[in-house]
Copies of this chain bind each other. A is one copy, B any other.
Amino acid sequence: MQELAAGIVVIGNEILSGKTVDSNSAFLARELRQLGVTLKCIVVIPDELDVIADTVRAFHQQYDVVFTSGGVGPTHDDITIEGVARALGRRVVVHPMLEAKIREYLVGRTVNAAHMKMAEVPEGAELLVDDALRFPTVKVENIYVLPGIPEILQQKFLALKPRFAAAPYYLKLIYTNETESAIAVHLNATLVLYPELMLGSYPKIGDSEYRVKLTLESKDQDYVERAFTHLLALLPKDTLVKTEG
């Protein structure tokens, strides 16, 4: 099964200026993990053409799959298409199928320059059509251009999902009432035997149930099971809260 590394580029002054909380990257992070895709980086950048172009170009080169979020629409601050085109050294062109869809959607109304802006794509882009979507998703090279509005981004991503199936991650969880300092030695000992284990240690403040959540993860199910058994045997029994997975 394929292995995929992904990056997310969130474009929007409204997030950097604290007016809007980005929920799209968290949604995509959860979805990608479930698919077995490894998300390597999320970046939030302003609506600035050169910054978009440079960031998208770097992500395009570094990761197998890139998602952009935001900056698509009819107004002056929607410059993601132009940024992606510049990242790839392509021109911006009107896509005939998008233009036809927009004219069909607006039938009987005057089509203005703002509407036509939404028919623009980087030259050579593919349109991914899906029955669940009013408008297709723009894809160019390994870049999927998604909108900032969470409802539409989610619809569009769900339609894309089958493309990204990768080998799954296996996750096991341990909750303990010990402190991180007390168990660090056991975590280290487990990593000596299981160096490829993805092992996370997350303290929680003010939780009545547990102090630290440990996450053990691997794409090798047997490996994570053995590491889990090993670590569990090392941890003090009387402070173990529960395990999951």
A residues lining the B interface (CB < 8 Å): 13-22, 25-26, 29-34, 39-46, 73-77, 112-115, 117-118, 149, 151-152, 169, 180-185, 187-188, 191, 198-206, 215, 217
Known: A76-B191, A180-B74. A39 touches B19 (CB 8 A): no
Question: Among B32, B117, B184, B199, which residue has its beta carbon within 8 angstroms of that of A113?
Answer: B184
State the majority secondary structure of interface residues on A: mixed
| Closest chain B residue, CB of each to CB of A42 | B44
CB pairs A–B below 8 angstroms (19 shown):
A14-B200, A16-B42, A17-B29, A18-B31, A25-B44, A41-B43, A41-B45, A43-B43, A74-B181, A75-B183, A75-B187, A77-B201, A112-B181, A112-B185, A114-B185, A149-B204, A149-B205, A151-B205, A151-B206
The CA-CA distance from A24 to B120 in the complex, in Å, is 36
Q: A18-B26, A29-B15, A77-B200 are in contact. Are A184 and B43 (CB under 8 A)?
A: no
A44 touches B46 (CB 8 A): no
| A163 smallest CB distance to B (angstroms) | 18
Q: Closest CB of chain B to A103's CB: distance in Å?
A: 13
The residue in chain B whose Cβ has the minimal distance to the Cβ of A201 is: B75
